[in-house]
Amino acid sequence: MNILFEILPLLIPVLLADIALAVAAVRHILQHPHYRFGNRVMWLVIVVIFLLFGPIIYFVFGKGESE
């Protein structure tokens, strides 16, 4: 339990950045209909289930061309 309080100041910024990235990915998925691979439902599932790496995977591999 003591170790949790020691690393908590490091975890809070990482968690906030991860949540912000996930929110940005979900907003982008819902607003844009074009993806390089897959469809909207697949990318939403990936982003929500794999919260830590899902948004990164989406922005690297799934984000389609801008209109």
Segment 13-41, tens digit of pLDDT: 999 999 999 999 999 999 988 888 888 89
- 9 within a domain of the structure (yes/no): no
- 38 within a domain of the structure (yes/no): yes
Q: Which residue has the higher pLDDT, 66 or 60?
A: 60
d(CA 44, CA 17): 18
Torsions phi, psi of 7, nearest 5? -95, -5
The domain total for the chain is 1
Q: Model's pTM, two decimal places?
A: 0.77
Torsion 14-16-22-28 (CA) sign: negative
Helix (H, G, I), strand (E, B) or coil at 30: helix
Contact criterion met (CB below 8 Å) for 56 and 25: no
Percent pLDDT > 90 in the chain is 36
Q: Domain containing 47: what range? A: 19-67
